[in-house]
Structure 1
Amino acid sequence: MNYKNHFFSILIIVMIFACSKKSERVENTTSEIQTQKPDQKKLILFFGNSLSAGYGIDAEDAFPGLVAQRIDSLGLDYRVVNGGLSGETTASGLSRLDWFLEEEPAIFVLELGGNDGLRGIPLTETKKNLKGIIQKVRSKYPQTTILLAGMQIPPNMGPEYTSEFRELYPSVAEEENVILIPFLLEGVAGNPDLNLPDGIHPTEEGHLIVFETIWEYLEDLL
C-alpha cells in the first residue's frame, strides 16, 4: 500500500511538471505569434482595362508587372496589385471599384477611358465616371495619392470627339487635383513595331516604354 502511494505521488509530480512545461511552451508560442508583424508593405493599385491587364502578353510583362519588378529590385517597401480588366469602361470600373478598396492603397493609378472613346460613349459620361472613381477613392482614403493616366484615341469618331477626348483628362486632373500622366502610350501608340496586330495593345517591347513613362511619375512618390 505504501508502495502504491509512493508511486502515485511520483506520477502526480511528473504530470504537474509536464503540464507546466506544456503551458510554458504555449505561452512562448503565443508571445512569438503576437510579436510577428503582418506584411506592412504599402499598396500600389493599378485600376484599368486591357492595357493594365497586359492583353496578349504575360501579365508580368505588362507595365504594372514591370513596376513590381523594379520595386522588388530596389528593395522598396511597396507591393503592386494589378486591377486591370479587359473591356473595362469607366462605368463598369466605377461599379466594381469597391472590391478593390477593402485595403488602403498608398498610390492609386487610374487607367480607364480608352474603351469609352473607342465606343463613342458621350464624353460627359466618361468624365462623370472618372471623377466618380477619384472621389470614391479620396472619400474613403484621403491620404491616397492618385495618378490619372491620360489617353488618346484614333480619329474614328471624328476630329471634334477625338480632340475633346484628349482634353478630358487634363480637365479631370485639374478639377480633382490629381497627378496627370499626359499620355500613357507616348511613343508607343501608332507604331506597328510596338503594338500587337490589332494596333491597340502594346507588345512586350511597347510595355517597356509605357513602364518608363509611368515610372517617371512613380519614382518620386516612392
Structure 2
Amino acid sequence: MSFCASPESKEEVQSETQTEEAEVSESNTQKTILFFGNSLTAGYGIDQDDSFAGLTQKRLDSLEINYRVINGGLSGETTAGGLSRLDWFLEDKPDIFILELGGNDGLRGIKIEETKSNLLGIIDKVRAKYPDTEIILAGMQIPPNMGQEYTNRFAKIYPEVAAEKDVTLIPFLLENVGGIPELNLPDGIHPTEEGHQIVFETIWPYLEDKIEA
C-alpha cells in the first residue's frame, strides 16, 4: 500500500529541506576566530559573555559580520599546556587565531627560553596545518615578583616572537587595565567586566584589520 503526502506535508518537507540547506550553507561560509589563552581569555570571575572574547562575538553580531568566536581559554594554563592541548582546537580551521598565553609562566618563574620556545611552537603548529590563518599575539607583562631582570626579559619575549614569526603583535593586552585596582577583581590579576570592555577595545582594532566582512 502506498501513501501520497498531503500538500501540507510536502510544504513542510520542502521548508525543512530549505532550512537545512541554509544552515549548511551558513556553516560553510562562516569564518572562525579562536581565542587561545588562559584565565584572562576564559573570563575568570565574570560571565563568559562579558569577557573580551564574548564581547568580540557581540560586536561581530551587531555589525552582522558572519564570524563565530571560540573561547579557548583555560584557567591556569601555561604555554607548555597550551602547546600540548592545541591539536584539539585545530580540528577545524580558525581563520584568525589570537594567542594569549605566557602570563602564568611569568608568575611561576618559568625559564624565559622555555616560554618563548612554546609560543614559537604554538605558532608553528597553527601554520603547519593552516598556512592561511591570521595570527595575532597578545603581549603580556608581569609584576616584578621574580626580580626586575626577569620581568624586563619576559616583556621582550612577545616582540621577539612576533618579529621572528611575522605575526601581528598587541604590545600589551592589559593596557590601561593592568595594575588599576578598580578595573580588576580583588586578586589584582583578573579584569572586571569594565576591565574586559577596555581590553576588548584594545584588541578590536587589530582584529578588525584581519576580518573579511
Q: TM-score of the superposition, structure 2-length normalised?
A: 0.90
Alignment coverage as a number of residue pairs = 204
Unaligned runs of 5+ in 2: none
* 1:196 matched residue in structure 2: 185
* Pair 188,35 (structure 1): closer, same or farther in 2 beyond 3 Å: closer
* 2:168 matched residue in structure 1: 179
1:23-50 C-alpha deviation (Å, 9 max, x unpaired): xx6xx76975884451131000000000
Identity of aligned residues (%): 67
Counterpart residue type for residue 203 of structure 2: I
Query: Is residue 72 of structure 1 aligned with residue 61 of structure 2?
Result: yes
Equivalent of 1:128 in 97, 117, 123: 117
Unaligned runs of 5+ in 1: 1-14
1:73-127 C-alpha deviation (Å, 9 max, x unpaired): 0000101000000000000000000110010001000000000000000010000
Deviation at 1:19, TM superposition (A): 6.4
Counterpart residue type for residue 142 of structure 1: P
Bigger Cα Rg: 1
SS in 2 for 1:83: strand
Counterpart residue type for residue 201 of structure 1: H
Deviation at 1:220, TM superposition (A): 1.7
Question: Greater share of helix residues, 1 or 2?
Answer: 1
1:131-177 C-alpha deviation (Å, 9 max, x unpaired): 00000000000010000000000001111100010010000000011
* 2:105 matched residue in structure 1: 116
* Pair 85,20 (structure 1): closer, same or farther in 2 beyond 3 Å: closer
* Pair 20,178 (structure 1): closer, same or farther in 2 beyond 3 Å: same
Equivalent of 1:161 in 150, 162, 165: 150
* 1:207 matched residue in structure 2: 196
